Amino acid sequence: MGGSPIRGRKDSNGRSWRWKIFTYLPRTLLESAKERIKKVREYNLKNEGYNQNVIEWIRGENIAYLTLSQKSLINKVLKLSKSRDDIKIVSENEDGTLYARIPSSWIKISPPKEVSEDRREKMSKHMKEVANRRWANNV
| Each residue's pLDDT tens digit, 44-75 | 666 555 567 888 888 888 999 998 988 888 99
The verdict on residue 134 lying in a domain is no
CA distance 65 to 37: 11
Under 8 Å between Cβ of 10 and 16? yes
The verdict on residue 125 lying in a domain is no
Residue 81 makes CB contacts below 8 A (sequence gap 6+) with 87, 88, 89, 100
- CA dist list (Å): 75 to 80, 100, 134: 9, 12, 33
Number of domains in the chain: 1
- CA dist list (Å): 76 to 17, 46, 49, 83: 39, 26, 20, 11
8-state DSSP, 111: P
The verdict on residue 97 lying in a domain is yes
Q: How confident is the model at residue 87 (pLDDT cuts 50, 70, 90)?
A: very high
Average pLDDT, the chain: 78
* pLDDT tops 70 at residue 4: no
The verdict on residue 31 lying in a domain is yes
Cβ–Cβ contacts within 10 Å for residue 125, how many? 10
Long-range CB contacts (within 8 A, 24+) of 43-49: 44/69, 44/95, 44/96, 44/97, 45/95
Q: Which residue has the higher pLDDT, 136 or 37?
A: 136
The count of C-alpha atoms lying within 13 angstroms of the C-alpha of 2, restricted to the half-sphere facing its C-beta, is 0
Q: Which residue has the higher pLDDT, 7 or 115?
A: 115
State the amino acid at position 81 in one-letter form. Answer: S
The verdict on residue 53 lying in a domain is yes
State the amino acid at position 76 in one-letter form. Answer: K
The verdict on residue 128 lying in a domain is no
* pLDDT tops 80 at residue 33: no
The verdict on residue 139 lying in a domain is no
Question: What is the pLDDT averaged over residues 5-30?
Answer: 54
**Domain that residue 53 falls in:** 17-111
The verdict on residue 58 lying in a domain is yes
